[in-house]
Homo-oligomer: A and B are copies of this chain.
Amino acid sequence: MARKPADQSVNREEIITAAADVLSRRGYETATMKDIAAAVNLTAASLYHHFRSKDALLLAVLEMGLEFTINRIQPITCQRGLSAEERLRAMIREHIVGVADNPAVGAAMVFEIHALSHAKPPTRRAKPEDVQAFEAFLTQRDAFFRRRDAFEHLFRAVVQEGVRSGEFHPVDVPIFVKALLGANNWVGVWYRPDGRLSGEAIAAEITGYFIPALVMRKGARDGLV
């Protein structure tokens, strides 16, 4: 099939989106920079101009997914006049709908995050600029892991606040949040855009499973039961 000459005007975001898609179809190990370049009609050489390695590109995909989610969830955590329950409900909804809207990125957040920890360091004979690039990658990766922890802490803070005020049962906050985020992240594994339920409907279901564990029955809260 004839192919148009490679278009060098493609932007960073288009590359990242295409990379997420190629990764979700082929997996991190089998996907090549050439596959990803072809998906945005770039030559492999000019893709390397944007991203020095497949690891760097994977990190960019995961960063995009995480920032997207944090940007939706962070504002909810500081909304005045909402109870902890109302905020938590809205946060779960944003998380799950975000995953369902971007299933390729959602799947990468589960399956490929591990690859970041196993990125290959440059060999002894590597050029100084490759060594430097790898060090920059490690710095950026550590910042990503800190952002991911900050994301988890947004959820912990809301649950903790509800427990402190007596609005919620005294659950083990870190474990509760890990169970909740496990269920939410798992949506990225099984969700299909042509499936039976929308992201909204799935979010409503999953919210309904976790909230009853937290919310005191009126009588219990008042010490009547």
Q: Which A positions have Cβ atoms within 8 angstroms of B?
A: 26-30, 107, 110-111, 114-115, 117-118, 120, 171-172, 175-176, 178-187, 189-190, 197, 202, 205-206, 208-213, 217
Q: What residue of chain B has the Cβ atom nearest to residue A182's Cβ?
A: B186
Beyond A27-B115, A175-B205, A208-B213, 8 additional contacts (C-beta under 8 Å) are: A29-B29, A29-B118, A175-B197, A180-B183, A182-B185, A210-B213, A212-B212, A217-B217
Q: What residue of chain B has the Cβ atom nearest to residue A174's Cβ?
A: B196
Most buried by B among A107, A110, A182, A205: A182
Contacts A118-B30, A213-B210, A213-B213 given: A179-B175 contact, CB under 8 Å?
no
Give every chain B residue within 8 A of A179 (Cβ-Cβ). Answer: 183, 186, 205-206, 209
Q: How far is the CB of A149 from chain B (nearest CB, A)?
A: 11
For the residues of A in contact with B, the DSSP-based class is helix
Q: What residue of chain B has the Cβ atom nearest to residue A196's Cβ?
A: B174
- Let me know if B172 and A120 touch, CB within 8 A: no
22 A-B pairs with C-beta separation under 8 A: A27-B114, A27-B118, A28-B29, A29-B118, A171-B205, A171-B209, A172-B205, A176-B209, A178-B183, A178-B186, A179-B209, A180-B209, A182-B182, A182-B184, A182-B185, A182-B186, A183-B183, A185-B186, A210-B213, A212-B213, A213-B213, A217-B217
